[in-house]
């Protein structure tokens, strides 16, 4: 199904559980992006030829604050996908109750095929093409797939070439340019705060709780490190090339040392080497997909043996798999809540930039814990009260907040 249609179907479903009756007109407002910007970005390549790349910035809804969302550089970035992701940002920001609307941007390009100079020129052209619609109180981009702190430094520089020094125009910048301390570990840290809260509800002791993590990148490797420090048993981890498993638990600091020097799990001793498919099916308390989308589908959902799924990646479970897992009583904590740590700390970065001030790491982590824990409790209680899934509960809370603010502002 078209990704944007899929998001709107979920919204339609959640709109049955909101505090206010959602009329057809309100639903249309919630499902229609407020502004869709499509730009052509011509750049001169290193070989002297000119190449044109398609760029998008979709501003979905700004009723609760400036538009906020990442920019991805990916060969599959297209209009519908970016629209769907922009809508999800509206709901994610509302679910964790930070004062932002939702947006997403993208350029259809494989960043691995461009030189640093070409990427710089493309980022600059894209930023200057959409600059009228950006601003620290209008729309604040951040990194996503295929982009990073360097991309944000270039975006900040391009925007600043017209408007003057404006660090609050992007988040996820290098710390030297006003990035927040703790932003790199924030998504993984947020995921572990959610796991802590689930354990409290289920009266589980971390020492006797096993985790399996798919993906060992920016999110997965931090989940592994932070959860290990808290005493959880990390039974298995993986990257795109394969997985390792140990029933006794993996020593994560030792593994990180090995991984950093070898860039692979191959040859790591005293563990079982298994496939990524088998990793998903191993028995554990918490299964944490933290790699890519659509890894749990109708093909493997029936064989999943974990008790709980924590969606650290975006959209790792398909709607068909969702139904199968529900029938097996496997609880799923949704991506919109679980991986919100990154955007929460982006919010802190924006605040720090507006005040030209830098917070200590302790403050960043404790404020993150406060916000994500509050959101978890709201999603949990609402699900129990209404007897609905955590996914539906989270979306309903987001919808309630957006509808209420739209009402206050006179939109409905
Ligand atoms: P990353 O590129 O740093 O890491 C991805 C990891 O997944 C790598 O270890 C890679 O080897 C592995 N992987 C890739 N394809 C795989 C496959 N087919 N099977 C198994 N493993 C595979 O990405 P990331 O930033 O860690 O993001 C991971 C997920 O979390 C994505 O869905 C992303 O959208 C989501 N997310 C990330 C952030 C963030 O702050 N980075 C915030 C919110 C959501």
For 293-308, what is each residue's pLDDT tens digit?
Answer: 999 999 999 999 999 9
Rounded to the nearest integer, the mean pLDDT of the chain is 97
For 46-97, what is each residue's pLDDT tens digit?
Answer: 999 999 999 999 999 999 999 999 999 999 999 999 999 999 999 999 999 9
How far is 28 from 16, CA to CA, in rounded Å? 14
Please indicate, yes or no, if residue 22 is contained in any of the structural domains: no
Q: What are phi and psi of 173, to 5 degrees?
A: -80, 165
pLDDT at 101: 98
The CATH number of whichever domain residue 64 belongs to comes to 3.40.50.10860
Strand ranges for 171-306 from DSSP E: 210-214, 233-239, 242-245, 272-274, 286-289
pLDDT at 45: 98
Q: Of 218, 43, 38, whose CA–CA distance to 114 is shortest? A: 43
How far is 308 from 287, CA to CA, in rounded Å? 6
Q: Are residues 258 and 301 in the same domain?
A: yes
Please give the DSSP secondary-structure letter assigned to residue 182. Answer: T
Please indicate, yes or no, if residue 355 is contained in any of the structural domains: no
Please indicate, yes or no, if residue 357 is contained in any of the structural domains: no
Q: How far is the CA of 191 from the centre of ligand 1 (A)?
A: 13
Number of structural domains, the chain?
A: 2
The answer to whether the beta carbons of residues 205 and 211 sit under 8 Å apart is: no
Whether 218 lines ligand 1, by a CB cut-off of 6 Å, is yes
For 226-251, what is each residue's pLDDT tens digit?
Answer: 999 999 999 999 999 999 999 999 99
The CATH number of whichever domain residue 214 belongs to comes to 3.40.50.720
Q: Whose CA is nearest to atom 31 of ligand 1?
A: 313
Q: Are residues 170 and 198 in the same domain?
A: no
Q: Are residues 171 and 192 in the same domain?
A: no
Q: Are residues 87 and 117 in the same domain?
A: yes
248 in active site? no
pLDDT at 213: 98
Mean per-residue pLDDT for 312-340? 96
Please indicate, yes or no, if residue 410 is contained in any of the structural domains: no
The answer to whether the beta carbons of residues 152 and 178 sit under 8 Å apart is: no
Q: Whose CA is nearest to atom 34 of ligand 1?
A: 314
Whether 292 lines ligand 1, by a CB cut-off of 6 Å, is yes
The pLDDT confidence band at residue 277, using thresholds 50, 70 and 90, is very high
The pLDDT confidence band at residue 1, using thresholds 50, 70 and 90, is confident
The answer to whether the beta carbons of residues 395 and 403 sit under 8 Å apart is: no
Q: Are residues 37 and 148 in the same domain?
A: yes
Best residue for ligand 1 mutational test, from 215, 314, 317 (most atoms within 8 Å of Cβ): 215
């Amino acid at each position: 199904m078209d990704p944007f249609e899929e998001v709107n179907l979920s919204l339609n479903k959640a709109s049955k559980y909101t505090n206010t009756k959602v009329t057809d007109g309100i639903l249309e407002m919630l499902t229609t992006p407020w502004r869709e910007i499509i730009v052509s970005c011509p750049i001169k390549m290193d070989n002297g030829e000119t190449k044109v790349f398609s760029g998008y910035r979709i501003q979905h809804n700004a009723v609760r604050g400036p538009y906020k969302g990442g920019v991805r550089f990916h060969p599959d970035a297209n209009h519908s996908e970016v629209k769907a992701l922009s809508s999800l940002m509206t709901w994610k920001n509302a679910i964790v109750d930070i004062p932002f609307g939702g947006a997403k941007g993208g350029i259809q390009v494989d960043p691995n095929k461009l030189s640093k100079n070409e990427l710089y020129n493309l980022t600059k052209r894209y930023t200057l093409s959409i600059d009228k619609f950006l601003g620290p109180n209008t729309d604040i981009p951040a990194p996503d797939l295929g982009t990073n702190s360097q991309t944000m430094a270039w975006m900040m520089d391009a925007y600043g070439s017209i408007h003057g020094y404006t660090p609050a125009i992007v988040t996820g910048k290098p710390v030297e340019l006003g990035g927040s301390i703790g932003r790199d570990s924030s998504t993984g840290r947020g995921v572990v705060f959610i796991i802590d809260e689930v354990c409290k509800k289920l009266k589980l002791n971390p020492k006797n709780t096993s985790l399996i993590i798919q993906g060992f990148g920016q999110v997965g490797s931090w989940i592994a490190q932070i959860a290990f420090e808290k005493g959880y048993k990390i039974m298995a981890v993986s990257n795109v090339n394969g997985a390792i498993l140990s029933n006794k638990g993996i020593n994560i600091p030792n593994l990180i040392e090995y991984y950093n020097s070898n860039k692979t799990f191959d040859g790591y001793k005293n563990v079982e080497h298994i496939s990524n498919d088998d990793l998903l099916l191993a028995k554990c308390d918490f299964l944490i997909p933290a790699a890519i989308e659509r890894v749990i589908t109708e093909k493997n959902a029936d064989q999943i043996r974990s008790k709980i799924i924590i969606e650290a990646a975006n959209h790792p479970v398909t709607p068909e798999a969702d139904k199968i897992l529900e029938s097996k009583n496997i609880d799923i904590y949704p991506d919109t809540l679980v991986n919100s740590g990154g955007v929460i700390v982006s919010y802190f970065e924006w605040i720090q930039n507006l005040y030209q001030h830098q917070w200590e790491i302790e403050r960043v982590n404790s404020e993150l814990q406060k916000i994500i824990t509050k959101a978890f409790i709201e999603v949990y209680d609402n699900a129990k009260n209404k007897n609905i899934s955590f996914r539906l509960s989270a979306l309903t809370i987001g919808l309630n907040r957006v509808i209420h603010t739209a009402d206050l502002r006179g939109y409905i």
